[in-house]
Structure 1
Amino acid sequence: MVPTQCGGCGEPGTDWCGDCARTLTDSPVRLEPRVEIGVAAWALGRYRGTYRSTLIAMKEHGRRDLIGPLGGALARGIVTLSQWGEIPDGDTLTLVPAPTRASAARRRGGDPVAAIARASADRLGRRVAVADALATSARARDSAGLDARARVANLSDAVYVRRRFVPSSRIVAGPVLLVDDILTTGATAAQSCRVLAAHDLHVSTVVVIAGA
């Protein structure tokens, strides 16, 4: 038997405690990444405390049960940003998960960013869809430990739109949000936005769970 503990703070006897749930209701914070993205970037919180430990537990320790709470937090953040006027009005809203290396997704039992986006869309309603449009080529290495310049070079020509992805009129008609778990330098977000724009998909806002 594996003891149950909170994925955010380690409190025994519960998989997700009330204090951590309340922390994820913080108001979004505006980010100023070192790499120019071209659109506003927002985070639900800073990459420390509950935000950091929850993402590590989900990504590195197999806590897939945390996708639900994170998806719910992302949905609340999107609603708040919409109320603030930071997300354009539209009949539809499309969430595009930032690309994850295939090897990392396999190791983690699936793409956690895409899973969070889908959990968020489920809470936001039928007018919100997830477009799994982006992928990263195998030649891109893990960006951990790289500075901003090295991250840009690492992702140059490595992010691409999947061949099977065909933009629908529904996606083009409404705002598009790029969604990620962590924004560090902004290199992934910037390259993703450029690639999507080349396919006539223009990101309105970048929203991440945590900003480093």
Structure 2
Amino acid sequence: MGADLADLVLPAACAGCGTERVPLRFGICTACVAELENSHPYATTPDPPPPAMPPCTTLGPYAGALRGALLAYKERGRHRLAGPLGGLLAGVVAEAAVRGGGGPRVPLVVVPVPSTVSAARERGGDHMARLAGHVVRRLRRAGWEADVRQPLRALPRADSASLDVAGRAAAAESSLRIRGARIRVSRRRPTMRGTLIVVDDIVTTGATLAAVTVRLREVDMQVTGAAVLAATRLRRHRGGAPGESDLRVPPGPEVLAHVPRTRGDGRPSAG
């Protein structure tokens, strides 16, 4: 009720499409909720994939309502979107786990890609750690044995927009460090012998997901796969360097029936 009253007293444009003066639920209009709910997780691979890139599953292309909701949550302080976005990401994580041979009865560890200290400060917290918390709570309600681990920390790194795929991979890997104390605690837990899924908001070149996979392997944490909310493609300039985003991502297969789904408000769907 408090969330609904806040929308009435402090109306805001829909995070997905920008439409104003429409009924909102957690900042998203009915049309955008329907668009997001009609998305189904599918496999995606950057072209070309960097070495060590894990199998990746996404909810959809970085476009439309999904792009708007991610930008509003990540860059514009719309933190109430963490619930519904986390619910959607839970379905992607479950699909990635199943593709990797896991399932509700197999212990699942979710590892969010870490934010730098400065990025977390600017965004009011680590946005992926927050989403990962919602993911695990949603999966537990659906009967999964799931937990969150944060064994990595991120150091500041220079802008990699002008780098090629190999350069981005090297920059991403050098910016990640293992938190030794947390690894020692994690290794004693039986869940570390189960399925490990790395989660991020967007995948483009795959450099970050590949770098996380390399770092985790160094401490015997084997990554099963990755789950992201959105995937982009990169056009190539004549010289072969990455260019602007190309959002044309082919649709994927239907999600498996046992993967948990949510409504636009982050609660389980009746379907």
Fold equivalence (TM over 0.5): yes
**Per-residue deviation at 1:198?**
0.7
Q: 1:163 aligns with which of 180, 183, 187?
A: 180
Preserved CA contact (<8 Å) 1:105 1:112: yes
Please give the residue correspondences for 1:26-45 in structure 2 after superposition, counting only pairs within 5 Å: 26-33=39-46, 34=48, 35-45=50-60
**Per-residue deviation at 1:80?**
3.8
Is 1:154 matched with 2:171?
Answer: yes
Gaps (5+ residues) in structure 2?
A: 1-8, 233-271
**Per-residue deviation at 1:29?**
2.4
Provide the secondary structure at the position in 2 that maps to 1:156: helix
Provide the secondary structure at the position in 2 that maps to 1:115: helix
Rounded to whole Å, the distance in 2 between the matches of 1:210 and 1:196 is 23
Provide the secondary structure at the position in 2 that maps to 1:201: coil
Q: Per-residue displacement from partner, 1:152-172 (whole Å, max 9, x unpaired)?
A: 232232211123313232332
The residue aligned with 2:30 is 18
Q: Per-residue displacement from partner, 1:15-61 (whole Å, max 9, x unpaired)?
A: 12222223223111221223233421111111111121111111111
The residue aligned with 1:98 is 113
Is 1:176 matched with 2:200?
Answer: no
Rounded to whole Å, the distance in 1 between the matches of 2:196 and 2:95 is 16
Rounded to whole Å, the distance in 2 between the matches of 1:19 and 1:104 is 31
Rounded to whole Å, the distance in 1 between the matches of 2:218 and 2:152 is 12
Kindly tell me: are residues 36 and 19 of structure 1, through their superposed partners in 2, closer, same or farther at Cα, counting changes over 3 Å? farther
The residue aligned with 2:102 is 88
Provide the secondary structure at the position in 1 that maps to 2:180: coil
Comparing 161-170 and 98-107, the one that deviates more: 161-170
Kindly tell me: are residues 24 and 80 of structure 1, through their superposed partners in 2, closer, same or farther at Cα, counting changes over 3 Å? farther
Q: Per-residue displacement from partner, 1:170-192 (whole Å, max 9, x unpaired)?
A: 33221000000011101100010
Q: 2:133 aligns with which of 98, 101, 118?
A: 118
Preserved CA contact (<8 Å) 1:95 1:131: yes
**Per-residue deviation at 1:151?**
1.5
Once superposed, what is the RMSD of the aligned Cα atoms?
Answer: 2.0
Preserved CA contact (<8 Å) 2:82 2:131: yes
Q: 2:208 aligns with which of 166, 171, 188?
A: 188
Kindly tell me: are residues 28 and 87 of structure 1, through their superposed partners in 2, closer, same or farther at Cα, counting changes over 3 Å? farther
Preserved CA contact (<8 Å) 2:96 2:225: no
Gaps (5+ residues) in structure 1?
A: none
Q: Per-residue displacement from partner, 1:64-92 (whole Å, max 9, x unpaired)?
A: 01111110001122334455x44424531
TM-score of the superposed pair, with normalisation by structure 1: 0.89
Q: How many residues align?
A: 210
Amino acid in the other structure paired with 2:229: I
Kindly tell me: are residues 145 and 105 of structure 1, through their superposed partners in 2, closer, same or farther at Cα, counting changes over 3 Å? farther
Kindly tell me: are residues 189 and 20 of structure 1, through their superposed partners in 2, closer, same or farther at Cα, counting changes over 3 Å? same
The residue aligned with 1:200 is 220
Kindly tell me: are residues 119 and 192 of structure 1, through their superposed partners in 2, closer, same or farther at Cα, counting changes over 3 Å? same
TM-score of the superposed pair, with normalisation by structure 2: 0.71
Kindly tell me: are residues 186 and 82 of structure 1, through their superposed partners in 2, closer, same or farther at Cα, counting changes over 3 Å? closer
Provide the secondary structure at the position in 1 that maps to 2:221: coil
Rounded to whole Å, the distance in 2 between the matches of 1:62 and 1:121 is 22
Q: Report the structure number with the largest CA radius of gyration.
A: 2
